[in-house]
A and B are shown apart, each in its own frame.
Chain A
Amino acid sequence: MGSLQSTLIQLLQGFKFTFGIFFFTLIFSIPLGLLVSKGRMSKIKIVSLIFQLYISILRGTPLMLQLLLVYFGPYYIFGVNLGSIQLGPFNYRFIATIVAFSLNYAAYFAEIFRGGIQSMSKGQYEAATVLGFSKMQTYFKIILPQVVKRVLPSVSNEIITLVKDTSLAQVLSVTEMFTKASAAASAQVSVIPFIVAGAFYYVTNLIIEQILNRVEKSMSYYS
């Protein structure tokens, strides 16, 4: 069973990247999504329109295409060669992947956050205003905590989808788990690597699901 062992080792090496894409995308896309939702809700028409267009395009085109565009765009369009960039352990491939994923997921998160923020009753803002809370205090103490609770189920959906979407980084030859599994499958002429990879994705999501369920439960003390 030497081949299964080597498959596991290869996939685990790939999993580092898979997890890296997942982790950094979440770190960047959630705050970015919050900003985009703010822009989308701006009272200034033109600002709102720009962010609406952003969301429309990022949601309306394939993520795979966006990955390729972020990676090749700078060179093909502007003649700028970024290929040699290295940020600590991260090469340009990986950075481009994170950029594309973050921009894409921010668009989805923005709409989820917008839904959550707009579902808050005007009365909450008014009560906070009359009590003397500043705009920042109102947002961070009163509104955001309630929005988090409301959007969590939808955000959970996106988080779980993101784990699986990491496999798209294959188009940029990022050596994440799916790339490794494909390579192993063709080398061994076997579907076992795919099945093992599938198990990895599933177990990862199972763990994430449990964590999210716990977070949701921790906020169920009020309705």
Chain B
Amino acid sequence: MPETKRDVVLEINKVYKSFDDLEVLKGITMEVKRGEVVAVIGPSGGGKSTLLRCATTLEKVDAGKIVIGGDVLCEDGVYCDKKLEKQIRSKFGLVFQNFNLFPHFSVRRNITEALIHVHKKSKEESEIICSQLLAKMDLTEKADAYPCNLSGGQQQRVSIARALATNPEIIFFDEPTSALDPELTKGVLNVIKELAKEKMTMVIVTHEMSFARDVADRIIFMDGGVIVEEGPAYELVTNPKQERTKAFLAGY
């Protein structure tokens, strides 16, 4: 009866996307189950980020279907109404490569602002949620600091807390450590590992191959706008089937 399966949080079906003459996504189909961690790897320009941006409503697809948390965002390239789109946005979180924290807000306000003004939670409740998340991110003492006074790693952890605050069903990470040095990268990856242990559903675009192998349940290798290969994380990294995948992984 229901077209969408309950245990599937994200469904992407034959999605196409072009920028002018450049076709970036050429029929992508994938699924993410509840509690699953999926890493998307591949060379730059292969369409990973665009796929993520389409799934998070930042880009509009030309054709195909996207279902998030059981709600149909678009079908045959036709989008749902604004109201449902807003509702869908509350079902996922997105962590950007360059954090995109709000520089004029304190750490606390970065996290609570959407809770109060979008999700209409009380200030008290929002601050409790915020304190819990900051404790989890090991940033309790930074609640009143401003982003400019934090290290890149701390900023990224704040942005993960901000994405988690609204209790989303799935979190997307767009190369979350690409702007960080190796030392800071570790801290951020540890946080993501913790989330994976808690069975948070996550899609992570990353260039950290060993991290993807160890943390992800499944890896999708994308190149040239298509999914070249996908499979269980460890298997795909250690024993890729496709020549293209082999060549890419040989670089790491």
Contact = CB atoms under 8 A, between A and B. Distances in A.
B79 to A, nearest CB: 14
A131 B114 contact: yes
B58 A126 contact: yes
Contacts of B166: 131-132
Interface string B68-89: 0000000000000000001001
Interface string A128-142: 111111000100011
Interface string B84-101: 001001101110101011
A176 B94 CA distance: 57
B100 A123 contact: yes
B103 A223 contact: yes
Contacts of B57: 129-130
Contacts of A130: 56-58, 89, 92-94
Contacts of A123: 96, 98, 100
B96 A222 contact: no
A126 B96 contact: yes
A127 B104 CA distance: 14
Nearest to B159: A127
B149 to A, nearest CB: 8
A126 B59 CA distance: 10
A173 interface: no
Nearest to A126: B58
Task: From B86, B90, B102, B118, name the one whose CB has the most chain A CB atoms within 10 angstroms.
Answer: B102
Contacts of A154: none
B148 interface: yes
B162 interface: yes
B6 interface: no
Contacts of B113: 131, 141
Interface in B138-170: 146-148, 162, 166
B147 A222 contact: yes
A76 interface: no
A222 B104 contact: yes
A205 interface: no
Given A131-B114, A131-B162, A146 B103 contact: yes
A144 to B, nearest CB: 10
A168 B103 CA distance: 41
Interface string B155-193: 000000010001000000000000000000000000000
Contact of B118 (A121, A133, A223): A133
Contacts of A129: 57-58, 89
A149 interface: yes
Interface string B46-62: 00000000001110000
Given A133-B117, A142-B102, 6 more contacts: A127-B96, A127-B102, A130-B56, A141-B113, A146-B104, A149-B104
29 contacts: A121-B100, A123-B96, A123-B98, A124-B100, A126-B58, A126-B96, A126-B100, A127-B100, A127-B102, A129-B58, A130-B56, A130-B58, A130-B92, A131-B89, A131-B114, A131-B118, A132-B86, A132-B90, A132-B119, A133-B114, A137-B117, A141-B113, A141-B117, A145-B104, A146-B103, A222-B104, A222-B146, A222-B148, A223-B148
